[in-house]
Amino acid sequence: MAAFRNLAMQPVVPLSLASIHSFAKGIPAVKAAGLSQKFLLEQLPIRHAIAAQDLLESTGMDLPGSDRLLLRYKALIDSYQKHHSDVGSSASQDEVGLSEAFAKVAGANLEGLEQDVSYLETQLRGGVNTAAVQSLMQNTHTHLIATRLLVGQHNNLVRQAQQPSERAPSVVANLTVPEIVDLCQHTAEDCRAFCVEKYGEAPEVRVCGPARPPQGSTRSLVVEAHAHYILMELLKNAMRAELELWGQDVADAPPITVVVSSKDNELGIRVSDAGGGIPAHRRPFVWNWFYSTAPQSEPTYTYSKNFGAPFTGYGMGLAMARTFARVAGGSMSIRVLPGHGTDAYVWMNRLGTHEIDT
């Protein structure tokens, strides 16, 4: 559509974890919330138009669910442009009230976008899995992640403006290596509890920092929810592998190990298991959207080990985890020692300066 194409040609402000973390720092909270609203009203329509244009150019309207997502992008753009016009003509001087009203609009729009991306996934799952589908999923989720970060940061700034005496946290945290180790430890505990709920037992997990403490500044810009997701997926895969290989003797299996380290501009995490390793014929596909070796299952709410969400099986976990790592300027890789186990590596840009794709 010409409307998407023309809007997508407008200049887009580069976005990174560092720029989100530092946005409007050092200025009064009310002014910061107002600046955030102005920024999003200008930038979100452009970003949605770029995503829509990418959808049209890469797949046209041939994929099931793509037409609904395209209509959603148009509705979002119309919504923000209308709100921009309403704000411009408003006589209200209540900056906090205007920012809060926009937060509600942005939140509702984000929820609608999430629903249509989820619908797209249900339509594509089990269908023809081409390179175009893989690219579409990668680009769509990167756009959704960036939108979540922007809207989430605006919500935090609005809360700060409403209650200046309380410090609202940024969606991007500035963590030391010990704090990241603690995050990994809590995630490991969550995963073990989930595994016990589903299987009655879980392998042991050991979490540690680098063997030699890093020199100088060790703080890293991290989206904690993203780090939790990445590690949760790696641990679920590691636990499932050890349970399948060791069975009732899983208590005798070597513990799954998680190591956190940092050097120069990089933050790294390694997860190692003794689950026998990923078979060679499956390794090329582990990063693909919709690829899973676990039996497909749907949530059930009868009393059984399948109560609630499944432990594995949707085929989204590793692909989404790598997307989170890429948003942070890094990526993920896997190394297999056949017959022994798998080492999964995550690395991210510690400074958060990597530009997030639109």
The phi and psi torsions of 240 (rounded to 5 degrees) equal -60, -40
Domain boundaries, the chain: 2-162, 174-349
Q: Name the residue among 61, 221, 226, 80 with its Cα closest to residue 141.
A: 226
User: pLDDT, tens digit, for every residue of 219-232?
Assistant: 999 999 999 999 99
Q: Please, are residues 133 and 124 in contact by the beta-carbon 8 Å criterion?
A: yes
pLDDT higher than 70, residue 18: yes
What pLDDT, in 10s, does the model give residues 34-59?
Answer: 999 999 999 999 999 999 998 988 76
pLDDT at residue 315 greater than cutoff 90: no
Q: Which two tokens stand for residue 26?
A: 């050092």
**174-349 under CATH 3.80.10.10, yes or no:** no
Q: How far is Cα 169 from Cα 155, in angstroms, rounded to an integer?
A: 10
Q: Please determine, for residue 305, whether its predicted confidence score (pLDDT) is greater than 80.
A: no
Confidence of residue 132 (pLDDT cuts 50, 70, 90): confident
Question: Does domain 2-162 match CATH 1.20.140.20?
Answer: yes
Buried b (16+ CB within 10 A) or exposed e, 284-309: eebbebbbbeeeeeeeeeeeeeeeee
pLDDT above 70 as % of the chain: 89
Give the three-class secondary structure for 333. strand
Q: pLDDT per residue over 29-38, tens digit each?
A: 899 999 999 9
Q: How confident is the model at residue 292 (pLDDT cuts 50, 70, 90)?
A: confident
User: For 238, how many CA atoms within 13 A lie in the half-sphere containing its CB?
Assistant: 32
Q: Which two tokens stand for residue 217?
A: 């500044």
Q: How many CA atoms lie within 13 A of 117 on its CB side?
A: 22
The string of DSSP letters for 270-298 reads EEE--S----TTTGGGTTSTT--SSPP--
Average pLDDT of the chain? 90
Q: What is the mean pLDDT of residues 120-134?
A: 84
Averaging pLDDT over each range in 121-130, 206-215, 344-353, which range is the top one?
A: 344-353
Residue type, 126: G
Please list the alpha-helical segments (H only) found in 125-200: 131-162, 177-199
Structure tokens at 3: 């409307």
Report the pLDDT value the prediction gives residue 45, as an integer from 0 to 100.
Answer: 97
pLDDT of 304: 46
Q: Please, which pLDDT band fits residue 294 given cuts at 50, 70 and 90?
A: low
Partners of 173 in the beta sheet? 222
- Residue 216: pLDDT over 80: no
Residues sharing a CB contact under 8 Å with residue 302, sequence separation 6 or more, in sequence order: none
Is it true that 2-162 and 174-349 share their CATH fold? Answer: no
Intra-chain end-to-end CA distance of the chain, in Å = 19
Q: Give residue 27's pLDDT.
A: 86
Q: For strand 256-263 and strand 205-208, is the pairing parallel, antiparallel, or unpaired? A: parallel
Q: The tokens of 175 are what? A: 């963590």
Q: What is the pLDDT of residue 301?
A: 47
The owner of tokens 């896997």 is: 334
CA separation for the pair 160, 64 (Å, rounded): 42
Angstrom distances, CA of residue 110 to CA of 113, 143, 151, 277, 342: 5, 11, 8, 39, 37
Q: Where are the beta strands (DSSP E) in the chain?
A: 173-175, 205-208, 220-222, 256-263, 266-272, 331-337, 341-349
How far is Cα 334 from Cα 299, in angstroms, rounded to an integer? Answer: 29
